[in-house]
Structure 1
Amino acid sequence: MNKLAVLAFTLLVFLSSMLWYLANGSLNEYLKSQIELQGHYYSGQKTTVDLADFSSSTGTGSFTNLRLLNLSDHQAKHAVIIDVAHIALERQPSQPLLTTIQEITINKLTLNSETNSSKTNNIDQLIKSTRNKLAHDYPELYPNISAKIYAENNPQLNAEEYAQNNPQAGPIIEHTKPKKKRGKPQTKINISTITINTVELNIINNNLAKKISLHNVKITAIGGKQGIISNQLGGEVLLALLSLANRS
């Protein structure tokens, strides 16, 4: 009987450990896939992450070797490279349905910026793609860009002439109205601080190459006090990182 009890206990411990491993493994695969999917969605370029390692018990984790493929007509294979990023969640939520990433620390961010013979810059193109996606999905947060996209998609509408002839009507606002959300309230997320130990800017312009290194770079909070939905977070973070190339 004692042997059976020991065997049962051993099996219980083994199965519990296996379920814990599977649960954490599934979570890490999910986080890895979300970064890759959002990176590709907003930039239009393939995004890969070698490893996601997050502990739900400590609220900390790391992401290793994040790479965003460069545009096809530029030299460097990748436009964006992050060697490792560490994250720490706030342990006590400040409000319901809000997850706060207290800090993201990136060890090294590499941005390969290149202006080719046609005078187009890869980072500028990636910024434009990311902003346009954000403006399309969240027009109320990007009214100027979404208005431009709306006008381009509706060339038959001359908004300026319409406003002059009908001042009482005000501006066309269909493109900036927030959509009404139905169903359960969505969990939101924000980031308090992003610190980058080293930003390496590799710049090629008119076939002249130069390298600029920035240290201890801080990025302002993302998501505000109320937070944003998780699908938007990837675009906002990518936009903030790409915009660092303009510091050159």
Structure 2
Amino acid sequence: MKVISSIIVIILLLCGGALWFLAGGSLNEYVKAQIESVGQQLTEQKVSVNKVDIQLTKGAGSIFGLTLPNPNKYNYPNAFSLGEITLDIDIESLTSDPIVLDAIVIQKPEAFVEFTKAGGANIKDLIDTIEKNLPKSKQASKPTSDGQPEPKLTIKKVILAGTALSVDLSALGNKEHQATLQDITLTNIGGSEGLPASQIGSVIVKEALSEIWRHTKQVQKEKIKAKATEKLKEKAKEKLSELFN
């Protein structure tokens, strides 16, 4: 699943499948329903999407307003909020194997990370839940509705552009902090042979969420260190004040 998220992410799990689903209903509604359904299965949270707009003839697509709620024990309503995800599809590859997506760009995603007194965090809980719900071994591709082999996908790059990160360390005696992460780029998802459309999202989400978690831990470390340094300086000032009074 792709950070995450993304995570992730999650939003991408069946975008691939949508590229070949052209019969029996609205493509956009199908993509929207699948993102929400599979996202909920993986995260055990009610994933929602406002709108999907896939334009195969232009080799483009967009997904708007995807949100991933937090587990109930956390205060933030959402763990992630993604305004717009754009897809750049290699049109010539639609009849080949694997189908190629040149890029998936997630514009200014927002991640809300909340730590507990025990040092746990919402994003870590979600990663663990996703890991639990993923297949434990490599599965064969599923046939499509007409009995044909499921298409494979390869994605050249996935970019999380300018993730706005909120980190709440209140439970650890600190406070809430904001940071904007440098672009996170995942490359060559699926490799030269590609992965089945129903599986490639799992790889992306795991990698993206792991990257966001890595950045979050770095922010946590820096802020706690800064707080400790501030306390030491305050104590030093108190000692000096006692000496000269």
In the TM superposition, residue 69 of structure 1 has moved relative to its aligned partner by 0.9
Matching of residues 61-76 of structure 1 within 5 Å: 61-76=61-76
Q: Which moved more, 1:197-206 or 1:26-35?
A: 197-206
In 2, Cα distance between equivalents of 1:190 and 1:71: 32
Task: Name the aligned partner's letter for residue 190 of structure 1.
Answer: T
The equivalent of 1:237 in structure 2 is 204
TM-score w.r.t. the length of structure 2 is: 0.68
CA contact (8 A) 1:113 1:202 kept: yes
Q: CA deviation at 1:122?
A: 1.1
Q: 2:227 corresponds to which residue?
A: none
| Equivalent of residue 204 in structure 1, options 151, 154, 168 | 168
Give 1:203's aligned amino acid: V
What RMSD over aligned residues (CA atoms) do the two structures have, in Å?
2.6
Q: Which runs of 4+ in 1 moved over 3 A?
A: 22-25, 94-97, 178-184
201-210 vs 92-101, which moves further: 92-101
Q: Does 1:222 align with 2:186?
A: no
Report the equivalent of 1:80: 80
Secondary structure in 2 matching 1:75: coil
Confirm or deny: 8 A CA contact 1:102 1:192 kept in the other structure.
Answer: yes
Unaligned runs of 5+ in 2: 1-21, 217-245
Give the drift of 1:80: 1.1
The one-letter code of the counterpart of 2:69 is L
Structure 1's 124 and 25: CA in aligned 2 closer, same or farther, altered over 3 A? same
Gaps of 5+ in 1: 1-21, 141-177
Aligned length: 188
Match of 2:151 in 1: 187
In the TM superposition, 1:1-248 aligns within 5 A as: 26-93=26-93, 96-136=96-136, 139-140=137-138, 184-205=148-169, 206=172, 208-243=175-210, 244-248=212-216
Question: Percent of counterpart pairs with the same letter?
Answer: 27
Deviation at 1:89, TM superposition (A): 0.7
Rg comparison, structure with higher value = 1
C-alpha offsets along residues 149-186 of structure 1, whole Å, 9 cap, x if unaligned?
A: xxxxxxxxxxxxxxxxxxxxxxxxxxxxx669787432
Deviates more, 1:82-91 or 1:113-122: 113-122
3-state SS, counterpart of residue 212 of structure 1: strand
Structure 1 residue 77 displacement after superposition: 0.6
CA–CA separation in structure 1 for the residues paired with 2:117 and 2:141 = 46
